[in-house]
Copies of this chain bind each other. A is one copy, B any other.
Amino acid sequence: VGRVTVVGDCEEDIAKGLGTLSREYDLVVVTGGLGPTLDDLTRAAVSRAVGRPLVEQPAAAQEIRNWFAERGREMPDSNLRQALFPRGAEVLTNARGTAPGFTLKMADARLFVLPGPPLEMEGMLMGEVLPRLTEAASGAGQGVLPRRDFFLVGLSESAFADAAGEWMERGACPRMGVTAKASILCVRLTLDDGSASEQALELRARDFRERFGRWIFSEETPDLARVVAQRLVESRTSLALAESCTGGLIAAALTGVPGISSVFREGLVTYSNAAKSGRLGVEEELLERHGAVSAEVAAAMAVGCARSSGADLALAVTGIAGPGGGSADKPVGLIHYGLWHRGEADTCERRFPGRGREQVREFATQTALALIWKALQGC
């Protein structure tokens, strides 16, 4: 990807931008502005940029009518605007929404115009655009750049950079790039100069696994929840959760993965002390003596969660998400975990200081998933 340009809802700006990009690049993918409302200007802007009028394509109009009929909904008149295309454009089907896309040649460039809603765009990119590109590339005797991805958890970006050393230097071959998202590191090795053989990539990947193996949770996806869910399902380990400060985020992440229902028993968002006692049997005396955010309560929550759910593995989280509720002793960002597995309860604590409520909760959630992932290593 050579350049990404974002322009506002102005027909002239969009048309001008398309002119520039189509002169400088072979391929231009446009997203957004194909909706039914009058501020959806992309079809008019493309029509202006290529100098061809908009015409209604009857087949596309029929598809839009069908979309509404199948759902038993009346079609608002404005939706018929979505059947207008610059003359000569090839219509691309949108299986996930009402706005079809289209493709056409503009000067020497190929233009793909896709709707903006991420799911619809993604569906059309995977289903319509990429297959056409792969076919065109292989027709021209080209392939894709060799690369390897690694996804790590439990290591900071700085500590990673120090341990990676010369592998990350600018002139290094293969080239190594790293990005961080919450506590997940995404590392990519790429051969991009064409002079090195693919073997150099394999060797570096092997050395990388040796140096960083204990932190690598996947070579395919940065989605730790998906990896944890798959391992739970594969090892037939049933799970229950007791969440306080994460408020349902761990359950939400894991239940986002299809198939999890075979192992996920239940999640309890025991936000109040009453819920911790009533649902998990945490003794009130324990809550009073140590406070709700303590290793003792985290352990009791995990044990109570395992007992009442009958799950093989139970994880409990209690912490201070902020912005209020912190003290010198127990500052905002302090999180206690309790993990019950194979008849034993373990606890650990983590601190995420200097972060906002949203980020404390996100880090606490990713760390919880990492703890389940580690507990499952031997399964």
Contacts and interface: CB of A to CB of B under 8 A. Distances in A.
A8 interface: yes
Interface in A166-199: 168-170, 176-178, 180
Nearest to A270: B266
A135 interface: no
Interface stretch (A46-54, A84-92, A141-149, A157-165): A157-165
Contact of A4 (B5, B36, B78, B241): B5
A267 B357 CA distance: 19
Interface in A93-123: 95-98, 117, 119
Contact of A252 (B249, B270, B322): B249
A158 B98 CA distance: 10
B161 A37 contact: yes
A267 to B, nearest CB: 3
A341 interface: no
Given A5-B3, A254-B247, A255-B269, A71 B161 contact: no
A252 B256 contact: no
A168 B38 contact: yes
A157 B244 CA distance: 37
B275 A266 contact: yes
A43 interface: no
Interface residues of A, number: 86
Given A3-B7, A78-B162, A268-B269, A170 B248 contact: no
Nearest to A171: B38
Contact of A161 (B78, B176, B247, B361): B78
Contact of A357 (B258, B323, B351): B258
B76 A161 contact: yes
A176 B37 CA distance: 11
Given A8-B1, A267-B271, A268-B269, A157 B37 contact: yes
Contacts of A96: 354-356
Interface string A236-265: 000001010011111110111011010011
A210 interface: no
A139 interface: no
Given A266-B269, A266-B270, A271-B255, A177 B357 contact: no
Contacts of A70: 353
A267 B265 contact: no
7 contacts: A4-B5, A39-B177, A41-B170, A70-B353, A266-B268, A266-B279, A268-B279
Given A76-B161, A265-B272, A268-B269, 4 more contacts: A247-B251, A255-B271, A266-B272, A268-B268
Interface of A: 1-9, 11, 35-39, 41, 67, 70-71, 76-79, 95-98, 117, 119, 156-162, 164, 168-170, 176-178, 180, 241, 243, 246-252, 254-256, 258-259, 261, 264-272, 274-275, 278-279, 308-309, 322-324, 351, 353-359, 361
Q: Which 8 A-B pairs have the closest CB atoms?
A: A247-B255, A248-B251, A248-B248, A267-B269, A4-B6, A266-B275, A248-B252, A37-B161
